Amino acid sequence: MRRSYLRAGLLALLAGLATAPAACWRERPAGPNVALLIFDTLRADRLGAYGYPRQTSPALDRLCRQAVLFAAAYAQASWTKPSVASVLTSLDPTAHQAIAGRAIDEGTPLSIDSLSDELLTLPTALASAGYRTGCIQTNPNIKAKYGFAQGCGDYQYLAGDNSARAVSAAASRWLEGDKPGPTFLYAHYMDPHMPYTPPHPLGEAFAGKGGSDPNDIYNVAFYRSIYNNVLNANLGLAPFQPALIPDARQLRRWKGLYDAEVAGLDEGVSSLLSTLQRGKDTWIFVIADHGEQHLEHGSMGHGQALYEELIRVPLLVYGPGAPAGRIVAEPVELIDVFPTILDLIGVQDRFHGLQGRSFAAALRERPGAAGRVARRAIFAEVDDSHAVRARPLRMLLSGRLKLIDNEFRGDRELYDLDRDPAERHALDPNATPEVQEMLEELETIRTRDRQRAAELPTPRRVPMDSETLRQLKSLNYIQ
């Protein structure tokens, strides 16, 4: 067994993972390879596989035809840090406490939440099960210094070229390493994230003349000002300026630039998908950490709300024996990915305390396998800003009803997603008998998550360095 397995296993044990049996890392590694590809800011409905008419995603559509597609997969938050932390820990944001992206505590420098090293992460679990683990990271919110490299035997942060092509190349190089044992790869792609700077000729193809020119004012600066106008007004930081609402033509270009970014992502990931699919015994999980708003509900970007365009994300799973072309309509959550992977590689009994539920039954070819995923309520939450812990938004999806409890504004929104999938016509929560039960369920979840968080040491905030600050500004997280 390689030294890195031992180190990862020992670290896991030293970190107080009482739930992981001490002997597991000594066992001979066995089982299939696993790849988790997280696409930052990728809306499900902008992929051909999910019905989008523009040709944004030929490679992912190809994968989809050989994979299982989850039509209703939900992220636990609508921006990177809490959502990815939920994927990696199988815990709701309130439970893992990696919530704030910037915090200005009086008298202290700008700081940022860190993922507690008391938590079991997916890479740590797989490393302790004998996997060679490699992580390719591109988002500054979830760098190693903020606790997001736990369990990554090999870790790379691509600070320069972080295009999909570069991420795929780094991932392929790592996979080609001549090392024994099964592999777990986590690759994080940033392409559809703002600023929208698609490669040539995709920018022109999807957004028109100048679409790939980063100096074109309509590609970056103009939309940045629109985004900041909406965001600052929502947060009460500045008055809303009506002159900065894009007209129909400008909004079309904005969406076109986003589509071009998605197409660039698809083009850049295609080679890695081919490499992974050549491996006979490899599970590929494709997800997004959250989506993106294009003024559907008065805002742009992500992180401020819990509408479908933000939290309903793509989820494709390809692997040995998985039924090609199956579509699973039952809702699942991203916290389910971790226990599903453990289930698929046969080590689910070794780890406890995960909040998600395995949907591995939906990935196994069984004649007449109906009811593959038990119906249950889906939960998501987000702070009202990236900075403030108090007054979060919380969402419960129960059957066709979706309730958003907006403690920031002190109101509630209720939608019937069967009749109104775009959430345009809010129902009266006071006139809907199911709402009381949904509120009680939200309270039960909050109590459970707070109890879980209480087991952790005080959330650790790490001072933000100038390099991270510059990177976050370039991505519009901080002005």
- Residues forming contacts to Zn ion in the complex (CB under 5 A) are 40, 80, 289
The letter for the amino acid at 300 is M
The answer to whether the CB of 79 falls within 8 A of the CB of 288 is no
Residue 189 is classified by DSSP as E
In the complex, residue closest to Zn ion by CB: 80
Q: Which of 190, 156, 168 is nearest to 41 (CA)?
A: 190
Helix/strand/coil percentages in the chain, nearest 5:
35, 15, 45
In the complex, what is the shortest distance from the CB of residue 294 to Zn ion, in angstroms, rounded to a whole number?
16
In whole angstroms, give the CA distance from residue 177 to residue 326.
Answer: 33
DSSP string, 125-183: HHHHTT-EEEEEE--GGG-GGGTTTTT-SEEEE--S--SHHHHHHHHHHHHHS---S-E
Quick one: 84 or 414, whose CB is closer to Zn ion? 84
Quick one: 165 or 188, whose CB is closer to Zn ion? 188
Q: Coil, strand or helix: which one is 316?
A: strand
Quick one: 85 or 284, whose CB is closer to Zn ion? 85
In the complex, what is the shortest distance from the CB of residue 211 to Zn ion, in angstroms, rounded to a whole number?
23
Q: Which of 38, 33, 276 is nearest to 131 (CA)?
A: 33
In whole angstroms, give the CA distance from residue 37 to residue 34.
Answer: 10
Tell the residue number behind the tokens 């403030």, with chain if given: 388
Quick one: 123 or 303, whose CB is closer to Zn ion? 303
Quick one: 80 or 197, whose CB is closer to Zn ion? 80
Quick one: 135 or 373, whose CB is closer to Zn ion? 135
In the complex, what is the shortest distance from the CB of residue 21 to Zn ion, in angstroms, rounded to a whole number?
34
In the complex, what is the shortest distance from the CB of residue 140 to Zn ion, in angstroms, rounded to a whole number?
11
Quick one: 289 or 333, whose CB is closer to Zn ion? 289
In the complex, what is the shortest distance from the CB of residue 143 to Zn ion, in angstroms, rounded to a whole number?
13
Distances (CA, A) of 133 to 78, 177, 317: 27, 12, 19
In the complex, what is the shortest distance from the CB of residue 431 to Zn ion, in angstroms, rounded to a whole number?
36
Q: Coil, strand or helix: which one is 228?
A: helix
In the complex, what is the shortest distance from the CB of residue 79 to Zn ion, in angstroms, rounded to a whole number?
6
Radius of gyration for the alpha carbons in the chain, expressed in angstroms and rounded: 21
Quick one: 70 or 189, whose CB is closer to Zn ion? 189
In the complex, what is the shortest distance from the CB of residue 289 to Zn ion, in angstroms, rounded to a whole number?
4
